Amino acid sequence: MARILIIGGHGKVALLLERILAERGDTVTGVIRNPEHQQDVLDTGAQFLLADIERFDLDQLTNLVAGNDAVVWSAGAGGGDPERTYAVDRDAAIRSIDAAVAADVRRYVMVSWAGSTPEHGVPDDSSFFPYADAKIAADEHLRASGLDWTILGPGALTLDPPTGRIALDPGKGEDSVTRADVAAVIAAVLDDPASTIGRTLRFGNGDVPIGEAVRSAAS
């Protein structure tokens, strides 16, 4: 079983993922900033680490990720403040990638968004632009890192019940997907590196069972 570190361990997707991974026997650690969130993480069967990734430097993040088999980036500033969006979604994400390189933690899974391409089309004056700009910078840094990376680009997230089925590259990347299914996709990707290393998977809910869809990424 694997040792997996989830950065952004109290997010809605992360809490669902922690339970999936813990139940299948992995050793899971959720990185959280707020000590009031520790019990929520523990209730999933995961461990927690208190750390402010926005302020941790490279050495601190290297110590944080060291000893794990995989890192999952599921953190985000949550929008609103452009400065903090860049600080978390771009700068801290990039430092965590560099930390994984420094710690020789080869497997890194980035949770991005379906529209994260250089041609994302978000206007500069849009309140969403800092997020779109930050995510593409982090994604491109990961692709160039030399790590065994996978980037996941889910569509709009919902709180609907899980379906267990997705569609890769749906429409224009605007299709919605349940958070529970995103968590299941992350778990499947971690379980199937051969099909997913070096690949970007954009997806929404669809008709293909998640495991089958992930395996098809290699074709």
Written as tens digits, the pLDDT of the chain (219 aa) is: 899 999 999 999 999 999 999 999 999 999 999 999 999 999 999 999 999 999 999 999 999 999 999 999 999 987 779 999 999 999 999 999 999 999 999 999 999 999 888 777 788 888 889 999 999 999 999 999 999 999 999 999 999 999 999 999 876 545 899 999 999 999 999 999 999 999 999 999 999 999 999 999 887
The whole-number pLDDT of residue 171 equals 63
**H-assigned helices in 28-175:** 38-42, 58-65, 82-85, 93-103, 129-143
Boundaries of domain holding 94: 3-216
Radius of gyration over alpha carbons of the chain, in Å? 16
Q: Which of 88, 71, 70 is nearest to 79 (CA)?
A: 88
The whole-number pLDDT of residue 54 equals 95
The whole-number pLDDT of residue 128 equals 87
Determine which helix (DSSP H) or strand (DSSP E) holds 214, and give its type and residue range: helix 210-216
Q: What is the CATH number of the domain that holds 57?
A: 3.40.50.720
Single-letter residue type at 74: S
Number of domains in the chain: 1
The whole-number pLDDT of residue 174 equals 56
Q: Residue 52 corresponds to which tokens in the numbers above?
A: 């402010």
The whole-number pLDDT of residue 161 equals 96
CA distance 214 to 119: 25
The whole-number pLDDT of residue 123 equals 81
The whole-number pLDDT of residue 172 equals 53
Instruction: Look at phi and psi of residue 67 and say left if phi exceeds 0, alpha if psi is from -120 to 50, else beta.
Output: left
